[in-house]
Structure 1
Amino acid sequence: MIQRDEPITITGSASAGNLVTVSMGGVERSAKAGKDGRFAATFPPVTAGQPFDIEARSPSGRVVSHDVLAGDVYLCSGQSNMELEVRHAQDAMGQIRNSADPALRLMTIPRAVADQPRQAFAQAPIWKTAGPDSVPDFSAACYYMARELRKSAGVPIGAIASSWGGSQISPWMGERAQAAVGNSAQSDLLALHARNATEGERAASAQWESWWRKATGDRAGAEPWQPGAKMDWADAPAMSAWEDWGIPPLASYNGMVWFRRDFTLSAAQAKGEAALSLGTLDDVGRAWINGQPVGMGARAWQPTTLSVPPGILKAGRNMLIVNVVDNYDKGGLLGPADDMALRPSQGDAVPLGDGWRYAVARTSPPGAPRVPWSDVTGTSTLYNGMIAPLGGIKLKGVAWYQGESDTDIPGYAGRLAAMIADWRQQFGQPDLGFAIVQLAGYGKPATRPGESGWAQLRDAQRTAVTADAHAGLATAVDLGDPFDIHPGEKQELGRRLARVMRALAYGAPIAKSGPQAAGAVKSGDGAVIVRFTGVEGGLHLRSGVQALGFEMCGSGDDTCRYVQAQVQGDHVILTGDGKPAERVRYAWADYPVMNLYDGTPLPIGPSEVPIAR
């Protein structure tokens, strides 16, 4: 599937210096492979129509792609709620059974991490025709959006899914985007690791250790990873999550735990380098041997193997210290025990699947640095492996559903704006439309006003989109599930994304972001009037005579309170209560209860706006 009405560049690799002849729809172009073996041939735009073939031939071989369609191509990316497959969404069986459409093409980019931008995918992705064999494993949000656009666009549609569950936005930001938000130091560290992995690990370890001393006040030489550090060590019951040990203080503990394991080496075993296999460290862990840093696991929730440089091990007794940080669900050294071992370059492996001791950290400072070459928290690593290889292909639009993993990390609006600008530059499309999903509700339904990291993130999404003439917002807050961070209702989400795309990509005369608060003003009687933008068909209440979830707030975090909210025409009037009011918040909770919609019907999006005087 290729994008219609845009210049087409066919790229590939051949033997260096070979002349490659590329033909497409009866038109031929020739290109010479460079020293790196890469070639590129450019063709004029084509319109949507019958399938055609693309052929590339040279003395080193011949490749033909059959049944190529021109239409509109969309890229869908983000974390787990974009990655969630159709088979795991609601009504999957019926939707899969009726999914056959030869003019809807789907492609999933395999997960890949890279220190530097790749020109080609580590594992080549494949276009598949939509149907019961391909749809079940494809992104549900992306599929339902593409299916809706097929109905209205009247042309073939291609959907590319490139997502990774649990990922922050930083791994999806290229080097230009990192520089735009002041993160060049991490990009430099990533580049160092690409050149010399040992030097990269050493520099990252120094960064982590400096962070620890600054965060805790520990002096150099007295940190918990030192062999003589005093801690309340106890025997670890098993290589499993500490929540499963039956120890009450750890039953629901999220934070840091230190682990210790002594082992003895012969002179031969201690000579040279070694590989340290620690099993799965949940979420992530960092290791020291004899007080010297060995490295941090770069893959969250996956087995970790670290390289131990020469000079760290010694003949006789050695001490291994591991710090494990768990921020979500269960945590610990998960094993399997049989895989945990030190494997010296000389001599037998040393099993490490038992004999561990643990100590709960006296303090668990937030913001522990991760290595920039990690997967879900890295710097540009997913961009390098899963976006950069797309090269300069042309797209009709991008759908982005991510943010859960950035909750409580300041500056999301800036990071999102920088990522969007970077991707537009890569694809050579400064006006490329981005449809951003505003996070779905999750957690305990709100019963009183309070601070909410999820609400802050949603408002950051709204802020970034409002400042971008070619971005739109698809609100999903009312599609959430208080008990499941991965809500199954993806069909309505797909319809909302398609609606945004119709405004951005096809110029449909509808609001690109749905109904949102536009501002608030104080009236003479102390009431506050809230006005909205993007409302179609008026404001409507569900199951009540008042709008739920409106708050008036003073300047402090603890000054917000629910107020009565009456709908009058195209605005909402908040009843004054005589207390200071400087701003209005709406649906400000992890899982807000909402009953205000427009005639579309779309929910009024969560927001915080100042009160003008």
Structure 2
Amino acid sequence: MNKNFFYVLFFLGLMGHSQQLPQFFSDNMVLQQNDTVPIWGLDKPGQKIQITTSWEYKVATKTNEKGEWRVMLPTKEAGGPYNIYIQGSNLDTIHNILLGEVWLAAGQSNMNIPLKGYRNTPIDGALDALSNADHHEIRFFRVNRNPTLRPASDMSGEWKISSPENAMEFSAVAYFFADQLRDKLDVPIGIITSSWGGSKVQAWLGEDSATKFSELIIPKVLGDSGKDKRTTPTSLYNGMISPLQDYAIKGFLWYQGESDRETTNYKELFVELIDSWRLQWHDSKLPFYFVQIAPFSYDALNPVPGGDAARVREAQLQTYLSVSGTGMVVTMDVGDCQDVHPSQKKVVGDRLAYWALADTYQILIPYQSPIFKKAVLQKKTGEVKVYFNYAASGFIRQKNLKGFYLSDDGKKFKTAKARISDDGNVLLSIDGLQPRFLSYGYGDCVETGLKNTYGLPAAPFKASVLVE
């Protein structure tokens, strides 16, 4: 148990009321189905605690010397509504509980942006989604902002049932993900969202993780500015992730990276985040599906190919390729060079759902974007042939396929004419070059168009050209 529980207990004792549950154990919550889920809380030291569920399970325990208690509750198949009765120094009842699939969605503004959008930033398909948002089987718990340099024992928020009024405030990406899962799995879906626009990955690391990186300095006092609160190492992990401890979930969704364009070791930080979050939930195999940042003109002076955003996408691709149990959604086709918050959040949420449906729930559908395999210079034809994984049926043919560049020195790149070959690969004209290097979509905002036959866009990359 978190040591800060002791101080909470002391404060509650002064108020004459000892029994307390974390706020996410509350009415309308969703618990992971067919699992053994932890429930915990506070009461007077040595107090007997009796927990009874309306799915016919009982368990008893006693608080320790600090007043902490914790039990494990077995759940059954999806369904409900159920109640949980907790009898300690007084009786607490948690009402209208559903058993289903629970996911944690986190990141920065593109995860945070709600279905109603931001000012002058709409969400495509929002009106249709809201008009069909009366789903009592979709529940959201939005974690309120709480930056802190010490691990918090609780977080503020409230479980809300999907309705047109409530869904307006839900994360658009997470809502579309939840709607897809509810429709395909026919079970209740609970989403816990914890996000803050402009946050850096270091803020979502715990102290044990942050101290592994010499450049990350945890101050003794958290600054007052919004930037300090959302970028200081450990500040968001402590207040917005750590209190969940190991609330039973099926997996993670992540959409962040725009604020780390100048971070040179983003991959190492991101891998540490994934590993440490899995460690907190005591499951090294928990699915972790994330969104590769979308095209945007961060700096019009950046050359193409090149740019800080391209390096973040490269780090994200390397993470996906090197860390098991991860999945990456490519967004090269749904970005907006003039808006860092592109409007097509349904596409993003749906693609995250395809990953979950196929990879987690074993429903056989295509879900992976084409990933570069190799490029070979064919001297006889004077073309570079580019091969991809996850494009077994080839690509959607186009008259003017954009996004490919060739270079003989790795510094100056020239636009390459590209076409789809009859055998389902990509052919590039060398136009007098002796190409040694190749890139695709490798820039802050490069126009691209390569998609496999299922409409999933190819991930951007840079690579060497082999000689046949």
TM-score normalised by structure 1 residue count: 0.67
Q: Could you list the structure 1 runs, at least 4 aligned residues long, displaced by more than 6 angstroms after superposition.
A: 444-448
Aligned mate of 1:53, from 75, 83, 100: 83
- Could you tell me whether the CA contact under 8 Å between 1:564 and 1:575 is conserved in 2? yes
Matches of 2:436 and 2:352, distance apart in 1 = 33
CA distance in 1, matches of 2:372, 2:445: 19
Task: Provide, for residues 98-122 of structure 1, a one-character-per-residue CA deviation record: whole Å limited to 9, x for no partner.
Answer: 200111111101011121222321x
2:135 matched residue in structure 1: 101
Give the alignment partner of residue 528 of structure 1, picking from 378, 384, 397: 384
Identity among equivalent pairs (%): 28
Q: Is the 8 A contact 2:370 2:390 kept in 1?
A: yes
CA positional deviation for 1:554: 4.0
Instruction: Give the SS at the match of 2:164.
Output: coil
Indicate whether 1:437 and 2:291 are aligned: yes
Q: CA deviation at 1:511?
A: 5.4
* 1:7-53 CA distance string (max 9 Å, x none): 11111111222121111222111222223322101122422123211
- Deviation readout 1:151-188 (Å, 9 max, x if unpaired): 111211111111000001110112233244x24862xx
Aligned position for 2:26 = none
1:566 aligns with 2:422: no
Paired residues of 2:111 and 2:174 also in contact (CA < 8 A): yes
Which residue is equivalent to 2:329?
474
1:420-445 superposed Cα distances (whole Å, 9 cap, x missing partner): 11111111221111111011111289
d(CA) in 2 for partners of 1:183, 1:55: 48
Q: 1:502 to 1:486 in 2, by over 3 A?
A: same
Which string of whole-angstrom CA distances, capped at 9 and with x for unpartnered residues, describes residues 186-220 of structure 1? Answer: 2xx44xx2xxx5xxxxxxxxxxxxxxxxxxxxxxx
Query: Is 1:425 aligned with 2:279?
Result: yes
Q: Which residue of 131, 143, 151 maps to 1:117?
A: 151
Larger-Rg structure: 1
Q: Deviations over 1:399-439 (max 9, x none)?
A: 11000000021111111111011111111221111111011
Matches within 5 A, 1:331-370: none
* Aligned equivalent of 2:105: 76
1:566/1:91 CA distance change after superposition, 3 Å: closer
Q: Distance in 2 between matches of 1:98 and 1:536?
A: 36
Measured in 1, the distance between the counterparts of 2:291 and 2:209 equals: 20
Aligned to 1:299: 225
RMSD, matched Cα: 2.1
Aligned to 2:454: 600
Measured at CA, do residues 172 and 573 of structure 1 come closer, stay the same or move farther in structure 2, by a change above 3 Å?
A: same
2:197 is aligned, of 165, 172, 186, to 165
Instruction: Output the amino acid matched with 2:86.
Output: A
Q: 1:518 aligns with which of 367, 373, 385?
A: 373
Q: How does 1:174-573 map to 2 (within 5 A)?
A: 174-180=206-212, 182-183=213-214, 186=217, 189-190=218-219, 193=220, 197=221, 297-300=223-226, 374-443=228-297, 449-510=304-365, 513-525=368-380, 526-535=382-391, 537-542=393-398, 544=399, 546-556=400-410, 558-568=411-421, 569-573=423-427
**For the residues of structure 2 that align with 1:43 and 1:64, how far apart are their CA atoms?**
15
Note the alpha carbon deviations across 1:436-479, whole angstroms, 9 max, x for none: 10111112899973321111111111110111221111111211
**8 A Cα contact 1:446 1:591, kept in partner:** no
Runs (5+) with no aligned partner, structure 1: 198-295, 302-373
The Cα shift of 1:378 comes to: 0.9
Q: CA deviation at 1:555?
A: 4.5
Q: Quickly say closer, same or farther: Cα 1:133–1:35, change in 2 above 3 A.
A: farther
Counterpart in the other structure of 1:92: 126
